[in-house]
Amino acid sequence: DAERSDGEQRDFFNLSFFRHHIESLAELMLSKFDFFQNFSEEKVLSPQNKR
């Protein structure tokens, strides 16, 4: 019984860690995509406004 619960706990930990990793990776990709989108939009909309 103890061994089985320990294994289940380990699987749950791996799963949550994997999900957290995927979520942070997705957030990073989304933020990069937003940044590039805003960057290109800014360049297209106002090419004369150089900071």
pLDDT for res 29: 92
pTM score above 0.95: no
Q: List the domain boundaries for the chain.
A: 1-51
Q: Which residues contact 32 (CB under 8 A, 6 or more apart)?
A: none
With a cut of 80, say whether residue 49 has pLDDT above it: no
Q: Read off the pLDDT of residues 7-46 as tens digits, 9 standing for 90 and up.
A: 788 888 888 889 989 999 999 999 998 888 888 877 766 6
Residue 39's pLDDT is what?
Answer: 82
Question: How many angstroms separate the CA atoms of 9 and 17, rounded?
Answer: 12
22 or 2: which leads in pLDDT: 22
